[in-house]
Structure 1
Amino acid sequence: MKIRHIIIAMLVVTFTMSSCKKEAEKKEVTNEKTEVLAADLQTVSLNISGMTCEIGCAKTIQSKLSKKEGVASAKVVFTDSLATIEFDKNRTSKEDLISFIGGIAGGDLYTASEATEAASKK
């Protein structure tokens, strides 16, 4: 009975040690990708018309933008009708983001355009 407990304990320790190593390797790979992306990041501010509420519109657009390939971060401020998006210029473009926003909710609700510097500094 004691031998069985010792063997089980050894298996648990071995499994735990190998899991930690794999997790550390994943973190290293993720850090390398982040460094590569950081060199190609660009920020754009877009005016968005057609939003009628904070939760249903602004948060939905922000959520969908955040999940889009090439987007590092997105923040949509309903009161300013402004989206600030940080994206990898090698994977997407301003024009693609404008088109993407226009296509949300069937393409009939929202219209996006590049914001002027004065509007984006509010």
Structure 2
Amino acid sequence: MKTQKIFTAIAIACFILTGCKTEKKEVKTENVSLAISGMTCEIGCAKTIQSKLSKKEGVLDAKVIFNDSIANIEYDANTTSKKDLIAFVDGIAGGELYKASEASHKKAHTCTEDCKEKCEMTADKKECKEDCTMACCADKKA
């Protein structure tokens, strides 16, 4: 009788373990660049928006570039959408400070370490030198 209870308990445990498998949802990754107006500082505004976006359900990665007023967001299209992300940014800080819209398809300017070094960029000076011929500075010149 005792062995029958043990076998029954093992059988129930096996059914529970095999029956509780979670299905993996396929992630449909998409990217969007949002132009954000109303940011006045890098730490209080840009970092706050980036932090809140990173915590939003469906957002896989978020980078807010203060100097360009752009948020580059990688997200799961099964969970959220461009429209939801724009509304989310618009609603940060009570909805009165920031206004987001889909940016043009031009890639935001990001400098490599090599470029920063050759253009003598520092924390205070983030602009490319006038005579810089690096490809990364080409889109920063008029």
Unaligned runs of 5+ in 1: 1-28
User: Alpha-carbon deviations, 1:77-115, whole Å to 9, x = none?
Assistant: 000000000000010000000000000000000000000
Structure-to-structure mapping, 1:59-74, within 5 angstroms: 59-74=47-62
Of 77, 95, 104, 2:92 maps to 104
Of 26, 30, 48, 1:36 maps to 26
Give the C-alpha shift of residue 121 in structure 1. 3.9
Larger radius of gyration: 2
The 4+ residue runs of structure 1 with deviation greater than 4 A are: none
Of 83, 90, 101, 1:113 maps to 101
TM-score w.r.t. length of structure 1:
0.68
> Does residue 83 of structure 1 match 2:43?
no
Structure-to-structure mapping, 1:10-49, within 5 angstroms: 36-37=26-27, 40-49=28-37
Identity of aligned residues (%): 66
TM-score w.r.t. length of structure 2:
0.58
Q: Which amino acid aligns with 2:37?
A: S
Match of 2:42 in 1: 54
Give the C-alpha shift of residue 117 in structure 1. 1.3
SS of residue paired to 1:102: helix
Match of 1:8 in 2: none
SS of residue paired to 2:68: coil
Unaligned runs of 5+ in 2: 1-20, 110-142
Cα distance in structure 2, aligned partners of 1:121 and 1:67: 22
Call closer, same or farther: CA 1:43–1:57 in 2, change over 3 Å: same
User: Alpha-carbon deviations, 1:20-53, whole Å to 9, x = none?
Assistant: xxxxxxxxx9xx95x832xx00000000000000
User: Alpha-carbon deviations, 1:46-69, whole Å to 9, x = none?
Assistant: 000000000000000000000000
Cα distance in structure 2, aligned partners of 1:66 and 1:121: 19
